[in-house]
């Protein structure tokens, strides 16, 4: 972080800031815009793209910028940037083509749109930083491979739980420990939540009801932990992860025999979550000493981390908009991905939130029809299970009982989707690993 901070200050002082375009001007996007514009030296937010010009203009206005100008063509956009005029556009793909933009930061969270934006960015030589755990957990390995072939950097941003966990995972490895559990601390988990039950909360915090529901029904945390699993090579112990309530400190969880050391070692480590633990909302990594090293164990005990065999490390917060901004420096200055898939061990599958009837069309993530759970990919593949990142718009051929997993055989897929194309690419990549 200090290196990133210093490098960005150097770029500020030399008049060579990282030129960033933000795609998405919802609650998350507006917060990120404010952090970049007012508190992140060495980064210049040259453009904001949003479905509605009003939202993009409002994002700049909330940051104290009143002179944003609409760009309806590539020439308009280039003129704005060259004249130091903040640009707003309803065409997100314009920012991919600009020669005056170094990095695109995507804060939308839609799978199909996210894929299209990523591929356009890569085609035009742009680094991509994303808040889109939904996309990464569905086709992250294929996206990473596309970026690599294009010679650009792809990364999930810090600040959201996957990036925070990955940063902690890397830190624990530098201590010489083997991370064996990467976890997420939640305050609530209820797979029956819907946009109706979450409407009041969403309104209070100016959030989208479907997005808020995906937090509450377990879909979002499943995406987040799948991202971590596929970046680290970990798996899940069981469908849906172990999960459950634990009303104590995360250090206590580490030492209460929740995890069988031999089992999680054989799995290469596991991702998990826990509800109601302290400190919340935070993340944790449990690590083990390699080769039962006496010196390591002695000093870990000396520094009050106990006698093992697992040792608890945690971060008691995740500060999405604040830490996402610092990720820009990691990607643009050091070509360091905060998180990207190295394999595809864990999928997020679709389960029926209620009894569903043949002929119904599955709605959006965090909706009324489905919720997502983590499943090891070898099982997901063998059972032909439908990833929830590809579920929206699918029409059911069969009745599906409540809580039953939905398979590809149960649905008719929409035509010509990028998500289906990249899932096939991902299969080919996995066959060669």
Round to whole Å and give the CA distance between 182 and 198.
28
Residues in the chain: 433
Q: Output 211 or 170, whichever has higher pLDDT.
A: 170
Round to whole Å and give the CA distance between 368 and 195.
7
pTM of the model: 0.96
Question: Among all chains, which residue has been given the structure tokens 């697992």?
Answer: 310
Q: Are 47 and 87 a contacting pair, CB within 8 Å? A: yes
Architecture of domain 2-159+321-334: 3-Layer(aba) Sandwich (3.40)
Q: From residue 125, how far is each of 7, 153, 368, 422 by CA, in Å? A: 22, 9, 39, 19
Class of domain 346-432: alpha beta
Q: What is the DSSP string of 237-282?
A: SSTT-S--B--SBHHHHHTTT-S-HHHHHHTT-EEEEEES-BSSS-
Q: Where are the domain boundaries for CATH 3.90.1210.10 in the chain?
A: 346-432
Q: In sequence order, what are the residues at sequence separation of 6 or more whose Cβ sits closer than 8 angstroms to the Cβ of residue 187?
A: 275, 276, 280, 281
> What is the per-residue pLDDT for 83?
97
Q: Is the pLDDT of residue 61 over 90?
A: yes
| Nearest CA-CA partner of 271 in 310, 238, 248, 315 | 238
Nearest 5 degrees, angle CA 321-CA 324-CA 325? 90
The model's confidence at residue 205, banded by pLDDT at 50, 70 and 90, is confident
Q: Output 272 or 205, whichever has higher pLDDT.
A: 272
Strand partners, 284: 183, 314
> What is the per-residue pLDDT for 1?
59
232-254 tens-digit pLDDT:
999 999 999 999 999 999 999 99
Strand partners, 181: 270, 286
> What is the per-residue pLDDT for 257?
86
Percentage of residues in the chain with pLDDT exceeding 70?
A: 100
Q: In sequence order, what are the residues at sequence separation of 6 or more whose Cβ sits closer than 8 angstroms to the Cβ of residue 170?
A: none
Mean per-residue pLDDT for 161-181? Answer: 96
Q: Are 223 and 137 a contacting pair, CB within 8 Å? A: yes
Q: From residue 217, how far is each of 59, 158, 185, 220, 403 by CA, in Å? A: 29, 23, 14, 8, 12
Round to whole Å and give the CA distance between 95 and 90.
10
Mean per-residue pLDDT for 353-379? Answer: 97
The model's confidence at residue 291, banded by pLDDT at 50, 70 and 90, is confident
Q: Is 141 left (phi over 0), alpha (psi -120 to 50) or beta?
A: alpha
Round to whole Å and give the CA distance between 86 and 58.
12
> What is the per-residue pLDDT for 206?
84
72-130 tens-digit pLDDT:
999 999 999 999 999 999 999 999 999 999 999 999 989 999 999 999 999 999 999 99
Mean per-residue pLDDT for 365-378? Answer: 97
Task: Name the average pLDDT for the chain.
Answer: 96
Beta-sheet strands, E only, within 316-401 = 346-352, 370-376, 395-396
Q: Where are the domain boundaries for CATH 3.40.50.720 in the chain?
A: 2-159+321-334
Task: Work out the number of other CB atoms within 10 angstroms of the CB of residue 179.
Answer: 22
Round to whole Å and give the CA distance between 25 and 54.
9
Q: Is the pLDDT of residue 433 over 70?
A: yes
The model's confidence at residue 207, banded by pLDDT at 50, 70 and 90, is confident
88 three-class SS = strand
> What is the per-residue pLDDT for 345?
98
> What is the per-residue pLDDT for 60?
98
Round to whole Å and give the CA distance between 265 and 268.
5
Window from 203-217, 272-286, 378-392 with minimum mean pLDDT: 203-217
Round to whole Å and give the CA distance between 376 and 385.
11
| Nearest CA-CA partner of 63 in 95, 91, 93, 29 | 29
6-50 tens-digit pLDDT:
999 999 999 999 999 999 999 999 999 999 999 999 999 999 999
295-327 tens-digit pLDDT:
999 999 999 999 999 999 999 988 889 998 889
Name the DSSP class of 319. -
The model's confidence at residue 229, banded by pLDDT at 50, 70 and 90, is very high
């Amino acid at each position: 972080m200090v290196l990133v901070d210093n490098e960005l200050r150097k770029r500020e002082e030399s008049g060579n800031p990282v030129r960033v375009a933000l795609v998405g001007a919802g609650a998350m996007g507006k917060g990120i815009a404010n952090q970049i514009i007012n508190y992140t030296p060495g980064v210049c937010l040259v453009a904001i793209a949003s479905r509605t010009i009003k939202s993009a203009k409002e994002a700049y206005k909330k940051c104290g910028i009143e002179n944003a100008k609409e760009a309806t063509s590539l020439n308009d956009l280039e003129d704005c940037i060259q004249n130091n005029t903040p640009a707003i556009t309803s065409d997100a793909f314009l920012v991919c083509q600009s020669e005056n933009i170094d990095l695109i930061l995507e804060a939308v969270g839609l799978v199909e749109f996210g894929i299209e934006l990523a591929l356009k960015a890569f085609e035009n030589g742009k680094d991509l930083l994303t808040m889109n755990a939904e996309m990464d957990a569905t086709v992250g390995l294929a996206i990473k491979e596309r970026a690599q072939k294009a010679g650009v950097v792809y990364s999930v941003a810090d600040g959201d739980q996957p990036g925070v966990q990955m940063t902690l995972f890397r830190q624990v490895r530098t201590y010489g420990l083997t991370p064996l559990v990467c976890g997420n601390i939640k305050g609530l988990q209820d797979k029956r939540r819907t946009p109706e039950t979450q409407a009041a909360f969403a309104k209070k915090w100016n959030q989208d009801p479907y997005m808020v529901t995906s937090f509450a029904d377990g879909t979002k945390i499943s995406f987040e932990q799948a991202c971590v699993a596929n970046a680290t090579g970990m798996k899940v112990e069981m469908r849906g992860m172990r999960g459950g309530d634990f009303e104590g400190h995360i250090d206590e969880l580490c030492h209460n025999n929740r995890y069988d050391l031999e089992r999680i070692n054989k799995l290469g480590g596991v991702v998990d979550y826990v509800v109601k633990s302290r400190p919340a909302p935070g993340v944790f990594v449990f690590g083990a000493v390699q080769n039962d090293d006496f010196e390591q164990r002695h000093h870990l005990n000396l520094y009050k981390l106990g006698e093992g065999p697992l040792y608890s490390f945690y971060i008691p917060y995740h500060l999405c908009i604040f830490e996402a901004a610092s990720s820009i420096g990691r990607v643009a200055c050091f070509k360091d991905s905060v998180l990207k898939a190295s394999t595809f061990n864990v999928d997020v599958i679709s389960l029926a939130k209620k009894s569903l009837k043949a002929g119904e069309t599955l709605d959006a993530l965090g909706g009324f029809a489905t919720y997502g759970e983590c499943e090891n990919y070898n099982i997901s593949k063998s059972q032909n299970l439908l990833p929830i990142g590809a579920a929206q718009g699918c029409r059911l051929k069969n009745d599906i009982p409540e809580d039953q997993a939905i398979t590809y055989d149960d649905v008719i897929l929409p035509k010509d989707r990028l998500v289906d194309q990249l899932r096939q690419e991902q299969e080919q990549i996995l066959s060669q690993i």
